[in-house]
A and B are shown apart, each in its own frame.
Chain A
Amino acid sequence: DAKTTQPPSMDCAEGRAANLPCNHSTISGNEYVYWYRQIHSQGPQYIIHGLKNNETNEMASLIITEDRKSSTLILPHATLRDTAVYYCIVRVYSGYSTLTFGKGTMLLVSP
């Protein structure tokens, strides 16, 4: 699976959009981009995933660049409860595929 690079930490003001970047320059054409988050002492929570098109759900939007070498997770109106570690993961499509979590980005949302 392709490796990902994320900033170790980011800050965001409550009510503002949080834009979390992820670099995956070695991604292959059959690899999906996934985002999870983990709030302290809880299990990882699935947020969103995509292959090449932008995706949106009730939690967030995922913007994947045309060359697929990077992506951005957007939380449109961050709240204090969005403070968590956010993980960007790529997964190969074919056959069984596990998740490999890196170090992620610690997002701190402040009042």
Chain B
Amino acid sequence: DAGITQSPRHKVTETGTPVTLRCHQTENHRYMYWYRQDPGHGLRLIHYSYGVKDTDKGEVSDGYSVSRSKTEDFLLTLESATSSQTSVYFCAISEEGTANQPQHFGDGTRLSIL
């Protein structure tokens, strides 16, 4: 299995508080991704990174920011959490961003915002 660790695995917090989720990889892959999964919507891309300090928006980026200061770590921040951001968040990695490179996923963070 790909060496991907997401932390925390579960979090409950209140509306308006800042939240940071961490994705750590040991594969030295260039690309890292954050997805959210909600019933009826499948997985949707939030942000992705194609290198240290290189990031771009995905399909549902509003309300989220990311940072990548090291190859192995990709952080997802909710500056002021809202109940609509209650979801399961998955991090993924790939060697490159092309279609011939599979993405490998972590086990997810279950986030509840009350």
Chief secondary structure at chain A's binding surface: loop
Across the interface, do A34 and B102 meet the contact criterion of CB distance under 8 Å?
yes
Which of B45, B58, B105, B106 has the most C-beta atoms of chain A within 10 angstroms of its own C-beta? B105
Chain B, interface residues (CB within 8 Å), range: 20 to 34
Residues of B within 8 Å of A102, CB to CB, are 42
Q: How far is the CA of A29 from the CA of B42 in the complex (A)?
A: 26
Across the interface, do B58 and A98 meet the contact criterion of CB distance under 8 Å?
yes
Nearest B residue to A41 by beta-carbon distance? B108
Q: How far is the CA of A51 from the CA of B98 in the complex (A)?
A: 13
Across the interface, do A44 and B42 meet the contact criterion of CB distance under 8 Å?
no
Across the interface, do A43 and B107 meet the contact criterion of CB distance under 8 Å?
yes
Across the interface, do A98 and B108 meet the contact criterion of CB distance under 8 Å?
no
CB proximity to B under 8 Å, residues A81-96: 91-96
B27-41 to A contact mask, C-beta < 8 Å, 1/0: 000000100000000
The one of B45, B100, B105 that contacts A98, using a Cβ cutoff of 8 Å: B45
Q: How far is the CA of A43 from the CA of B90 in the complex (A)?
A: 7
B44-59 to A contact mask, C-beta < 8 Å, 1/0: 0100101000000010
**A103 close to B (CB within 8 Å):** yes
B65-108 to A contact mask, C-beta < 8 Å, 1/0: 00000000000000000000000001010000111101111111
In order of increasing CB-CB distance, the 5 nearest A-B pairs are A43-B105, A91-B99, A101-B42, A96-B97, A97-B99
